[in-house]
C-alpha cells in the first residue's frame, strides 16, 4: 500500500496537509507561519483568554494561540534541521496513515465521495490562500519540502521556480543564504583581492582543478564522443519494466559509486584532511549531493535533455519506475540551466569545492577553519571567472542555482525517507556508503577507510 502522508489533515488548523514540516504534519500555511515566527524571534500576544480556536477559517486571527498550538503539538526547527524521523516515529506515522485511510474508506462507503471532498479541499493551493502565507516561500527551502506529494507536478510548479530567484528581502523575515551573501561580498571586495598573494591563490586553484580532474569518472573528451550514443526504446522499456524497489536499488548503487569520487575529491583538497573528523563527515554528508548535482553538468546534454546513465544517454522516461517524477524532472531542469552557463572543468571544480566547504553546515565544530578554506576557494573561483567577460554576472548566475539545488537535496531525502517507510527491507540492502551519507543521524565513519 503506497500510503500518502497528505491524507492526514494539518494538525494545526485542519487544512489539507502537504507533508511533515518541523516534525509535524501541517499545511503550507502553518509551515510558513511557524518558519517566520522562528526567524523573527516573534513575540505575540492574545487579546482574549489565550484559548482561541485555531482552524482553517480563523487561523490568522490570533498569532499567539496559533504559535502555542504549533509548539504544543511538537513543531520545532531542530526537528528538521538536526535529524529526520526515528524508526519509532516512522512506525507511529505509518500506523496513523493507515488508520486515517481506513476511516476515510468507511466514510466513503457510508456517505459517498462528496462527504470527503467537503472535509478535505482537493486544491493544492488551498493551503496558500492567505497573503501572509505566501510571503517568503523560497526562504524555507533549506529545511522543508512536501513529502511525496500527491500530484507532484503541482508542488513542483509552486515551489521550484521560486527557488531559482535570489533570496527575498530580509524585511520579509527571510534569512539570506550565507553562501550567496558571502559570494556577493567577494564580488565587490577588490581591495581584498589585492592583499592576497596571487601565487597562493594560484596554488589553491591548481590543487582543486587537479583534484577534480583526477576524480572524474570520465574525461570531457570521452563524454563528447558518447554524446549521441542514446538508449534505444527497447533499453528504455527494460528500465521502465523494473519494479520501483529494484529501480531504487539500481540508482542507489550508481549514486554510491559517484559518491566515492566526491569523497576522493574532498580528501585531495588542501586543508580538508586537516579538519577534525567530525567536520569532514558533516561537510561530506551535507554537501555531497550538491557536488554531484554540479558535476552532473559534465554528463548532461542540454540539446535533447538527456543524461549519461549505464553507458549511454537517456531522458527522464528512463526513471519512470522510481515513482519520483517531480524529483527527476527537477534534476533534469537543473541540468539544463547549469549547462546553459557553459562552465569549464576548471569552473566546475572550483564551484564544487566552494559549495562543499560551506561553514554554515549544522554540527560543524570548527566552522572558522572551514570559513578560511572557503574564502581562499572563492578568491580562486573569482580569479578563474575573471578570464571571461561578464564574470560578475556568471558568478551571480551560479549562486542563484544554490536554492534549487538545496530543494532537490531535501526532496531526495524526503523521497528516500518515505521509501524507507514503505520498503525498509529493501532500503537495508542499499550500499553502505549511500546509507551513510543519507542517514538520519551523524555517524562517525572514517572516510579515510571508505
Closest by CA to 179, choosing from 358, 394, 398, is 358
Q: Domain limits of the chain?
A: 5-135, 178-437
- CATH number of 5-135, picked from 3.20.20.70, 3.30.50.10, 3.40.190.10, 3.40.50.2300: 3.30.50.10
Task: Give per-residue burial for 373-412: e unless 16+ CB within 10 Å, then b.
Answer: bbbbbbbbbbbbbeeeeebeebbeebbbbbbbbbbbbbbb
Query: Whats the size of the chain, residue-wise?
Result: 450
Angstrom CA distances, 57 to 49, 53, 126, 364, stand at 19, 10, 11, 42
* Of the candidates 122, 124, 120, 121, the residue with the CA atom closest to the CA atom of residue 154: 124
| DSSP, residue by residue, 144-209 | ---SS-TTHHHHHHHHHHHHTSPPPPGGGT----HHHHHHHHHHT-HHHHHHS-HHHHHHHHHHHH
pTM of the model: 0.59
The region, left, alpha or beta by phi > 0 then psi within -120 to 50, assigned to residue 343 is beta
Confirm whether 5-135 and 178-437 share one CATH topology. Answer: no
In angstroms, the CA 193 to CA 188 distance is: 10
Answer yes or no: CATH 1.10.565.10 is held by domain 178-437: yes
The grid coordinates of residue 80 equal 528538521
Phi, psi of 262 (to 5 degrees): -70, -40
Question: What is the pLDDT at residue 159?
Answer: 23
The x, y and z cell numbers of residue 399, run together, are 549562486
> Given this model, what pLDDT does residue 244 score?
93
Whole-number Å distance between alpha carbons of 238 and 232: 10
- The pLDDT, as a whole number, for residue 130 is 31
CA-based max dimension of the chain:
78
pLDDT score of 440: 53
286 by DSSP, 3-state: which? helix
* Residue-by-residue pLDDT tens, the chain, 450 positions: 334 566 788 899 988 888 788 878 888 889 888 888 887 677 888 888 888 989 888 888 899 999 999 998 888 866 544 344 555 666 666 667 767 666 666 656 655 444 333 333 333 222 222 323 322 322 222 222 222 223 222 222 222 222 222 333 333 333 334 444 444 344 444 444 445 688 899 999 999 999 999 999 888 888 888 888 999 999 999 999 999 999 999 999 999 999 999 999 999 999 999 999 889 999 999 999 999 999 999 999 999 999 999 889 999 999 999 999 999 999 999 999 999 999 999 999 999 999 999 998 988 999 999 999 999 999 999 999 988 877 678 888 899 999 999 999 999 998 998 898 888 899 989 998 898 888 754 433 444 444
CA dihedral 420, 425, 430, 432 (to 10 degrees): 100
Whether 226 and 313 have beta carbons less than 8 Å apart is answered as: yes
**303-304-305 Cα angle (round to 5):** 100
Amino acid at each position: 500500500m503506497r500510503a500518502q502522508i497528505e491524507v492526514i489533515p494539518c494538525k494545526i488548523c485542519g487544512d489539507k496537509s502537504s507533508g511533515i514540516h518541523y516534525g509535524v504534519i501541517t499545511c503550507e500555511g502553518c509551515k510558513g507561519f511557524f518558519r517566520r515566527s522562528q526567524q523573527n524571534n516573534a513575540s505575540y500576544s492574545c487579546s482574549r483568554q489565550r484559548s482561541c480556536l485555531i482552524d482553517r477559517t480563523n487561523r490568522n486571527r490570533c498569532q499567539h494561540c496559533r504559535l502555542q498550538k504549533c509548539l504544543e503539538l511538537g513543531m520545532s526547527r531542530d526537528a528538521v534541521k538536526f535529524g529526520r524521523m526515528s524508526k519509532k516515529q516512522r512506525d507511529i506515522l505509518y500506523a496513523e496513515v493507515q488508520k486515517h485511510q481506513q476511516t476515510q474508506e468507511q466514510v466513503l462507503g457510508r456517505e459517498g465521495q462528496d462527504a470527503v471532498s467537503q472535509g478535505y479541499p482537493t486544491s493544492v493551493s488551498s493551503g496558500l490562500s492567505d497573503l501572509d502565507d505566501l510571503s517568503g516561500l523560497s526562504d524555507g527551502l533549506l529545511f522543508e519540502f512536501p513529502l511525496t506529494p500527491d500530484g507532484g507536478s503541482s508542488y513542483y510548479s509552486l515551489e521550484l521556480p521560486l527557488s531559482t530567484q535570489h533570496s527575498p528581502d530580509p524585511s520579509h523575515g527571510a534569512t539570506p543564504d550565507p553562501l550567496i551573501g558571502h559570494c556577493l561580498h567577494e564580488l565587490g571586495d577588490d581591495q581584498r583581492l589585492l592583499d592576497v598573494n596571487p601565487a597562493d591563490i594560484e596554488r589553491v586553484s591548481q590543487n582543486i582543478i587537479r583534484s577534480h580532474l583526477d576524480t572524474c569518472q570520465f574525461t570531457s573528451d570521452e563524454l563528447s564522443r558518447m554524446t549521441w550514443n542514446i538508449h534505444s526504446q527497447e533499453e528504455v522499456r527494460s528500465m521502465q519494466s523494473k519494479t520501483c524497489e529494484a529501480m531504487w536499488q539500481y540508482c542507489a548503487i550508481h549514486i554510491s559509486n559517484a559518491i566515492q569520487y566526491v569523497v576522493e575529491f574532498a580528501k585531495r583538497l588542501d586543508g580538508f584532511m586537516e579538519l577534525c573528523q567530525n567536520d569532514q563527515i558533516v561537510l561530506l554528508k551535507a554537501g555531497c549531493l550538491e557536488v554531484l548535482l554540479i558535476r552532473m553538468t559534465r554528463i548532461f546534454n542540454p540539446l535533447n535533455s538527456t543524461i549519461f546513465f549505464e553507458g549511454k544517454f537517456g531522458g527522464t522516461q528512463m526513471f519512470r519506475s522510481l515513482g519520483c517524477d517531480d524529483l527527476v524532472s527537477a534534476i533534469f531542469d537543473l541540468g539544463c540551466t547549469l549547462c546553459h552557463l557553459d562552465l569549464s572543468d576548471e569552473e566546475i571544480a572550483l564551484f564544487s569545492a566552494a559549495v562543499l566547504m560551506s561553514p554554515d553546515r549544522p554540527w560543524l565544530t570548527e566552522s572558522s577553519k572551514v570559513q578560511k578554506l572557503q574564502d581562499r576557494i572563492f578568491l580562486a573561483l573569482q580569479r578563474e571567472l575573471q578570464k571571461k567577460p561578464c564574470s560578475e554576472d556568471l558568478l551571480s548566475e551560479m549562486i542563484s542555482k544554490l536554492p534549487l539545488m538545496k530543494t532537490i537535496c531535501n526532496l531526495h531525502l524526503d523521497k528516500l525517507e518515505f521509501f524507507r517507510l514503505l520498503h525498509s527491507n529493501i532500503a537495508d540492502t542499499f550500499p553502505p556508503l549511500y546509507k551513510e551519507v543519507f542517514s538520519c543521524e551523524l555517524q562517525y565513519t572514517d572516510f579515510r577507510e571508505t
